[in-house]
């Protein structure tokens, strides 16, 4: 038996024979062609573009039907890649200039683009590299007149073991009734991982070279929660996982039933359970009865485009979200651009300039205060959306990201006041909207007593707070083990934030990913958190967890954990004392 640790990309347990997907490489030799053949090679390339476009149209229709608008948009991105001059113009130019075959020109161009992608450091863009390969692979197949029949041999349920899986492959897995999959590369935020979650297909990614260590047909277990791939399990492991799988499936079934029930511990301690969503989310798929939106990420509205979104466009997007969550609080976060969320367009070119330390650079509110017009446009759109008659009772709040000083809050509030006054001058009605902050920078956490008088609420952004406390880049795969929420410094700062805020009568939420962790959410409850904000996919599980614990137990475990020094021991202690299935 071999156990290989990767990254859990989509939860669930799958057991079955391995189906090794050949990492079929795209290859072409440099063959000089005659001047007379150039025209036909260019034509071959153009035909391949048309055929690929047709494939993508079919895939888009399929994705729309099976997975919804959000995922269909991914195929739209693929179409954009295909139409990009770097592909559509540069490849024929290369064929003409260098007298080479269409296949060779394509692969040379891909190589150059790949090198450029490799130089990008942020994970979001790096992972879009797979989308580029996905498109070029299709294009290559049409040029080489090869049909794409990767999964033709799958006739019985299997676990697909691949070096990499493109998003379009992942969609096909559902049709083939595949039990789950693993890939050597890819991270938690890759489109393939996100698709697997939507399709509820257990998946483990980032397994380095696991696909080379497994034989076709070998018995495999994948544990999407723990990020484990188990090859040739012994009887004891197999039995354990059969039991776990049964429990998992039962708990998934029971989960739906608790949606209508309150988020309350066994001894009656109530927690507000909100949702983290982003503006591109397919809201029609969100049917859970959450207490509202604890974090509406707006930066995706600003990304992957050539100019900043205008007021009307933003207003209509916010209105759509507000209508969906009628009568509930919706916390709209001012765009947290910079860091790993880059805009492709530039204002004075600064937004596009690569910084040496982007997470410590011009990011979040720092960037907006440098470009107040951009901030004002977003604020006007929010105030106007709040005035929409159809969503009158919705409780909109504004949240400022990446605050590191009191001065930034005062400056933002001054701009908010200016926007309100300008709107009043145009005879617009102006709602009173609460203003809160993300606490995600240690300087903000440690001076909260000076800040709280200026804000209505706070939400702890632990994704960033942890990376700044521990000086550990949240996206750097080399140091993932150092990004440790159980480090005593993390617990102490969260405890301090909650105590300070409660002394001043202000509610505290956590909207970072740790709120969804089944071991850490009870710790947050024990620390006295008022509200947790989690993804729609993890919402019911988090609710179930809270309904299965007592506030008293959580508080006891927290008091003890705060006295401990070793993160590993803290984790062990928490798991042993607050988890039914350690």
* Site size toward Mg ion, by CB under 5 A: 3
Q: How far is the CB of 276 from Mg ion (least distance, A)?
A: 11
Contact partners, residue 488, CB within 8 Å, separation at least 6: 562, 564, 565, 567, 570
Pick 90 or 278: Cβ nearer Mg ion? 278
Binding segment for ligand PEP (CB under 6 A), chosen from 19-27, 61-69, 387-395, 462-470, is: 462-470
CB contact at 8 A, 28 and 104:
yes
Residue 558 CA to residue 503 CA, distance in Å, equals 19
CB of 539 to Mg ion, least distance (A): 20
Q: Which is nearer to ligand PEP, 295 or 379 (CB)?
A: 295
Q: Does 464 bind ligand PEP (CB under 6 A)?
A: yes
Q: Residue 455's binding partner, choosing from ligand PEP, Mg ion, none, with beta-carbon cut-off 5 to 8 A by kind?
A: none
Pairing of strands 2-5, 228-231: antiparallel
Contact of 69 with 282, CB cutoff 8 Å: yes
Q: Which stretch binds ligand PEP (CB under 6 A): 133-141, 250-258, 460-468, 563-571?
A: 460-468
Strand order from edge to edge, sheet including 7-10: 2-5, 228-231, 219-223, 13-20, 159-162, 180-183, 203-205, 7-10
For the beta carbon of residue 220, count every other beta carbon within 10 angstroms. Answer: 25
> Quick one: tokens of 512?
């970072």
- Please, which residue, 123 or 263, has the CB nearer to ligand PEP? 123
Partner touching 408 among ligand PEP, Mg ion, none, CB below 5 to 8 Å by kind: none
For residue 60, the partner it binds in Mg ion, ligand PEP, none, with Cβ less than 5 to 8 A by kind, is none
* Least distance from ligand PEP to the Cβ atom of residue 512, Å: 3
Q: Torsion-angle region of residue 442: left (phi > 0), alpha (psi -120 to 50) or beta?
A: alpha
Residue closer to Mg ion (CB basis): 68 or 361: 361
Q: Could you say which residues in the range 416-445 bind Mg ion, by CB under 5 A? A: 440
Task: Give the helix, strand, coil percentages of the chain, each rounded to 5.
Answer: 50, 15, 35
Which residue, 281 or 440, has its beta carbon nearer to ligand PEP? 440
Least gap, CB of 299 to ligand PEP (angstroms) = 8
User: Of the candidates 182, 187, 228, which has an alpha carbon nearest to the alpha carbon of residue 201?
Assistant: 182
Smallest gap from Cβ 93 to ligand PEP, in A, equals 40
Q: By C-alpha distance, which of 181, 183, 185 is closest to 159? A: 181
How far is CA 528 from each of CA 39, 94, 133, 243, 449, rounded to the nearest angstrom?
71, 63, 47, 34, 17
What's the min distance (Å) between Cβ of 362 and ligand PEP?
15
Burial zone of 521 (CB within 10 Å; 0-12 exposed, 13-18 middle, 19+ buried): buried
**169 contacts Mg ion (rule: CB under 5 A):** no
Q: Does residue number 186 form part of the binding site for Mg ion (CB under 5 A)?
A: no
Judged by CB under 6 A, which of 41, 336, 473, 517 binds ligand PEP? 336
Look at phi and psi of residue 561 and say left if phi exceeds 0, alpha if psi is from -120 to 50, else beta. Answer: alpha
DSSP state of 155: -
From the CB of residue 292, how many other CB atoms can be counted at a distance below 10 Å? 20
CB 68 to ligand PEP: min, Å = 22
463 near ligand PEP, judged by CB under 6 A: yes
**464 counts as binding Mg ion under rule CB under 5 A:** yes
Q: Report in angstroms how near the CB of residue 335 gets to ligand PEP at its nearest.
A: 10
473 binds ligand PEP (CB under 6 A): no
Interface size with ligand PEP, residues (CB under 6 A): 10
Full DSSP string of 510-572: E-SGGGG-TTHHHHHHHHT-SEEEE-HHHHHHHHHHHHTS-HHHHHHHHHHHTT---HHHHHH
524, interface contact from Mg ion, ligand PEP, none, CB < 5-8 Å by kind: none
Question: By rule CB under 6 A, what string of x and - marks binding of each residue 293-332 to ligand PEP?
Answer: --x-x-----------------------------------
Q: CA 406, CA 401: separation in Å to the nearest integer?
A: 13
Q: Which is nearer to Mg ion, 440 or 513 (CB)?
A: 440
* Stretch binding Mg ion (CB under 5 A), from 168-176, 230-238, 327-335, 459-467: 459-467
Q: Which are the catalytic amino acids?
A: 191, 511
Tokens of 433: 């909207």
Piece of 259-267, 277-285, 454-462, 483-491 that binds Mg ion (CB under 5 A):
454-462
User: Could you say which of 8, 461, 475, 528 contacts Mg ion (CB under 5 A)?
Assistant: 461
Q: Which of residues 511-540 bind ligand PEP (CB under 6 A)?
A: 511-512
- Binding residues for Mg ion, rule: CB under 5 A, are 440, 461, 464
Summarize as ranges the residues that interact with ligand PEP (CB under 6 A).
Answer: 295, 297, 336, 440, 461-464, 511-512
């Amino acid at each position: 038996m071999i156990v290989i640790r990767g990254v859990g990309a989509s939860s669930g347990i799958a057991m079955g024979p391995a189906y090794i997907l050949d990492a079929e490489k795209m290859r072409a030799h440099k063959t000089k062609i005659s001047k007379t053949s150039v025209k036909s090679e260019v034509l071959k390339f153009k035909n391949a573009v048309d055929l690929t476009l047709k494939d993508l149209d079919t895939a888009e229709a399929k994705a729309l039907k099976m997975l919804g608008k959000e995922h269909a948009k991914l195929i739209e991105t693929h179409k954009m890649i295909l139409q990009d001059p770097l592909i559509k113009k540069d490849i024929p130019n290369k064929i003409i200039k260098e007298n080479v075959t269409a296949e060779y020109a394509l692969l040379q161009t891909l190589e150059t683009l790949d090198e450029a992608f490799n130089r990008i450091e942020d994970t979001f863009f790096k992972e879009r590299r797979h989308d580029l390969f996905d498109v070029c692979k299709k294009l290559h197949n049409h040029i080489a007149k090869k049909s794409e029949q990767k999964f033709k041999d799958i006739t019985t349920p299997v676990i697909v073991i691949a070096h990499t899986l493109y998003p379009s492959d992942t969609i096909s897995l559902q049709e083939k009734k595949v039990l789950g999959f693993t890939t050597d590369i890819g991270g938690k935020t890759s489109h393939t991982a996100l698709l697997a979650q939507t399709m509820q297909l257990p998946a483990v990614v980032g397994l380095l070279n696991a696909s080379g260590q497994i034989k076709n047909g070998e018995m495999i277990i994948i544990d999407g929660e723990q990020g484990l791939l188990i090859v040739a399990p012994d009887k004891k492991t197999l039995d354990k996982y059969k039991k776990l799988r049964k429990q998992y499936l039962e708990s998934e079934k029971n989960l739906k039933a608790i949606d209508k029930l309150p988020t309350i511990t066994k001894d009656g301690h109530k927690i507000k359970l909100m949702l983290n969503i982003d503006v591109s989310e397919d809201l029609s798929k969100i049917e859970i009865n959450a207490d509202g939106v604890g974090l509406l990420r707006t930066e995706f509205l600003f990304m992957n485009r050539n100019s900043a979104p205008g007021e009307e466009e933003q207003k209509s997007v916010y209105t759509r979200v507000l209508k969906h969550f009628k009568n509930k609080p919706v916390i709209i976060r001012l765009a947290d651009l910079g860091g790993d969320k880059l805009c492709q367009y530039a204002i004075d070119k600064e937004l596009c300039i690569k910084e040496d330390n982007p997470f410590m650079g011009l990011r979040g509110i720092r960037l907006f205060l440098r470009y107040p017009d951009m901030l004002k446009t977003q604020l006007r759109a929010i105030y106007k959306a709040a005035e929409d008659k159809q969503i009158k009772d919705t409780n909109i709040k504004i949240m400022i990201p990446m605050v590191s000083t009191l001065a930034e809050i005062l400056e933002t509030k001054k701009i908010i006041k200016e926007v309100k006054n300008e709107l009043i001058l145009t005879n617009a009605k102006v709602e009173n909207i609460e203003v809160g902050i993300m606490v995600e920078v240690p300087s903000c956490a440690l001076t909260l007593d000076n800040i709280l008088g200026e804000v209505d609420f706070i939400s702890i952004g632990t994704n960033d707070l942890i990376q700044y406390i521990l000086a550990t880049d949240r996206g750097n795969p080399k140091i993932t083990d150092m990004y440790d929420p159980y480090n005593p410094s993390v617990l102490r700062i969260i405890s301090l934030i909650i105590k300070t805020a409660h002394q001043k009568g202000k509610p505290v939420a956590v909207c970072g990913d740790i709120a969804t962790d089944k071991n850490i959410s009870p710790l947050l409850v024990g620390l006295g958190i008022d509200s947790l904000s989690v993804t729609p996919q993890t919402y019911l599980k988090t609710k179930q967890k809270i309904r299965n614990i007592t506030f008293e137990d959580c508080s006891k475990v927290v008091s003890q954990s705060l006295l401990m020094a070793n993160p590993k021991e803290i984790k062990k202690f928490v798991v042993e004392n607050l988890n039914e299935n350690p």
